[in-house]
Amino acid sequence: MALTIAGSDSGGGAGIQADLKTFTALGVHGASAITCLTAQNPKRVLGIETVSPKMLRQQLEAIFEELNPRAAKTGMLFSAQNILIVANFFRNSQSAIRNPKLVVDPVLISTSGAKLLEKNALNIFCEKLLPLATLVTPNLFEAEILSGQKIFSLEEMSDAAKKIHSQFGCAVLVKGGHLKSKAQSPKSKVATDLFFDGKTELLLSAPFVKNIRTHGTGCVYSAAICAELAKGKNLIGAVQIGKKFVTRAISESYKIGNHFALRPDKI
């Protein structure tokens, strides 16, 4: 089974809701620990309310007491307190003995531009949580923050991934979906992500899906990787399946109101 530790998206396109849909589509039982409630839709975030540290801790304790996840992922943690609860739990409790694989999706900002991590929480996130991760999955903007450099090319993606790995010790998947717009390269027809684990560097490419603006792709991607790790896949294999899964979810998106929703389904 797999566990998601993330925020609830009232619009159903990202967060806990997207993660659990992905786990189900990939044949894995999903458990959840909710870090915060959001009032949001694909266009904007109206409000965020965190759960208490005590309640977050109790959710984790309840899950590991009986269910024993083989892999877990974090999404929106939002506050320094939430990050410390999760990091300390995985470092100090029985969960550390059971040693589930941990995928960290560093949710810093929403597609609509809303900040999803408190200002004072980034240092704690980097110092306490990232060293515990099996894999971190930043998009380009998040990779720039974590590596301290700008990214406008595949070469700079590679440099950033190596810097992040060197600093925090985890494998890195830099998602390059925004590279086309950042590099102002409209001729590019593929979305390329870059994986680096200290030994292997791997490029994962898929055709751009035109005329679709999606919400929740990072959640679905990291959840698919988490699900495959829970099923016993090695990290490279899980990342490759995750790429295929999210590409199909985007290509089969459907219209909800004035927006597109991903369709997480079996590969």
Angstrom distance (rounded) from CA 100 to CA 70? 5
Eight-state DSSP code of residue 60: H
Do residues 137 and 105 make contact, with C-beta atoms less than 8 angstroms apart?
yes
Q: Could you give the count of Cα atoms lying within 13 Å of 183 in the half-sphere of its Cβ?
A: 18
Alpha carbon 90 to chain centroid, angstroms? 17
Q: Tokens 């295929």 map to which residue?
A: 244
Residues assigned a catalytic role: 175, 214, 216-219
Burial (CB count <10 Å: 0-12, 13-18, 19+), residue 264: buried
Beta strands, E only, 51-160: 71-74, 101-104, 135-136
Q: Tokens 């999955």 map to which residue?
A: 137
Q: Which string of DSSP letters, residue by residue, matches 208-246? A: --TT---SSHHHHHHHHHHHHHHTT--HHHHHHHHHHHH
Structure tokens belonging to residue 28? 């894995």
Compute the C-alpha angle 189/213/206, nearest 5°: 30
Angstrom distance (rounded) from CA 71 to CA 49? 26
Q: Which of 5, 123, 104 is nearest to 55 (CA)?
A: 5
